[in-house]
Structure 1
Amino acid sequence: MKVPGAVSGRVRPLWVAAECAVTLGLVLLLFVAHQLWWTNRQAQQGAAREVSALERAWAEGAAVGPGPDRAHAVLVIPRLRLRAPVVEGVGRAEVLDKGFVGHYPGTARPGRPGNLALAGHRTTHGEPFRHLDRLEAGDEVRVETRDAVHTYVVDSTLPQTAPGDSGVLRPVPRSDVRPSYGYRERGHYLTLTTCTPAYTSTYRLVVWGKLRSVRLR
């Protein structure tokens, strides 16, 4: 004869474990939704406001210099339908997690000789560089400032390198990890960097371009 209390005693731990599993699943689902949807929405809206504020300042004749808390340029990539604010620095919390594109300190300014190097998230937090791998040779990338529009043309892509490959940021960019990628002569270069593969930070994807024209406003 079965004793009800004994049966329920054996079942109760299984029931508690099932409840914990369901709760954990819901928490993970909410976390994923937060990372993939909510952070993107917040960052994209914030980036759009930053671009609008910067363009209003330009229209009013205000001078907006580089700084860690304000945009000083706008990156435009027609193929990706991207229009993002450029902020000084590449700190995660201060710049990239806000959906901004960060300017590597010490690299060239728009239109100047050397290497203008920029970084952006590929996934979550606005993911401005989500489809950076879709850029092809000949695609235009514009960097707009108060005084001019600097048009670069994509020249080559380094599909994968180590996060510490500092050679890609030099005035004449060239990969230290994969020396066959990069340049040997001085020029006016643009370097765009992001994480790869998507949803990881294991490696870096690098897209290079050369300055084609500068149109004064």
Structure 2
Amino acid sequence: MMVVMRPRTISPRSLFALGVVGMLSLSACSGGGEPTAEAAETTTSTTTTEVTTTTAAPTTTTTTVPKSTTTRAPTTTTTLPTAEVTELIARATTTTVVDEATFYEAQETEPIAPPTDTYAAEPVISLGRIQIPKIGVDTTMYEGIRMTTLDVGPGHWPGSAMPGQAGNNVIGGHRTSKNRVFRDVDQLVAGDQIIFSDDNGTHVYAVNRVEVVQPTDVWIINPTPTPTATLFACHPPGSTAQRIVVFADLIS
């Protein structure tokens, strides 16, 4: 801030007026009387100072932001041995050939929904035989999964694949009542054989696993793109709380 001092001389007449005002003010504060003649007649040349204030505008500061710098990570190239590359290419180009007509036939064949009346009458139709050497099963297999059929023997789920076909061949049976054909299926392990014989020949399946599921797990009857067999029965023996399921794959 810069201050400029400019002197100015007040005229005698102005000075006289200022003096009168000053005395009147003082008199009002102190309770004094009229101003004296001496004060009125006194003429003094007084110098007063006029102050002019100049405010300088603030200086504007400009800050330059540095440009962002991008650092690229170094590129790393890994060269695989020739033998490993050849193996990877072979794996990628390996294709399992499945007869197209058989594949789509299996996918388009849908098993029927679980029957709402499991004790309704249905015709008893023989489809062939089922053998499970490990647990001594060798009996006739029928078409249907209602109790009227299962009381006679193991039944094929209508709409599921037939033995030997691409798809899921689903068979149900009893463990405790009537013929008890699937009583000991819990003893089956991976590799045990299940053999179906019908007018189209003999079809041998090998067990790959045994599971216990809930009665609502109807996914066990879903179609499959390859020839499989699924055997199911109530579990544990004498109870309908769960289902024991045997999964097998066609081997010959």
TM, length-normalised to structure 1? 0.59
Q: Give distance in 1, aligned partners of 2:213 and 2:188.
A: 17
Task: Give the structure 2 partner of residue 22 of structure 1.
Answer: none
Tell whether 2:238 aligns with 1:199: yes
Q: Give distance in 2, aligned partners of 1:84 and 1:155.
A: 22
What do the CA deviations read for 1:121-168 (whole angstroms, capped 9, x no partner)? 01020100000000110001000002300000001111x211121100
2:123 is paired with a residue of what secondary structure?
coil
Q: Give distance in 2, aligned partners of 1:133 and 1:197.
A: 9
Task: Give the structure 2 partner of residue 56 of structure 1.
Answer: none
Q: What percentage of aligned pairs have identical amino acids?
A: 32
Map 1:1-217 onto structure 2 (within 5 A).
Answer: 68-92=123-147, 94-98=148-152, 100-158=153-211, 160-172=212-224, 186-213=225-252
Contact 1:113 1:189 in 2 (8 A): yes
Structure 1 consecutive aligned stretches of length 4 or more whose deviation exceeds 2 Å: none
What do the CA deviations read for 1:91-148 (whole angstroms, capped 9, x no partner)? 01x21112x1010111001100010000000102010000000011000100000230
Q: How far off its partner does 1:69 sit?
A: 1.1
Q: Give distance in 1, aligned partners of 2:142 and 2:192.
A: 23
Q: How far off its partner does 1:71 sit?
A: 1.1
Quick one: which amino acid aligns to residue 238 of structure 2? Y
Q: Which residues of structure 1 form unaligned runs of 5+?
A: 1-66, 173-185
Q: Give distance in 2, aligned partners of 1:145 and 1:102.
A: 14
Q: Give distance in 1, aligned partners of 2:125 and 2:165.
A: 21
Q: How many residues are paired up?
A: 131
2:251 is paired with a residue of what secondary structure?
strand
Q: Give distance in 1, aligned partners of 2:138 and 2:201.
A: 16
Quick one: which amino acid aligns to residue 123 of structure 1? T
RMSD between superposed Cα atoms in Å = 1.2
Q: Which residues of structure 2 form unaligned runs of 5+?
A: 1-121
Rg comparison, structure with higher value: 2
What do the CA deviations read for 1:60-89 (whole angstroms, capped 9, x no partner)? xxxxxxx83131110000011111211111
1:167 is paired with a residue of what secondary structure?
helix
1:95 is paired with a residue of what secondary structure?
helix
Contact 1:68 1:87 in 2 (8 A): no
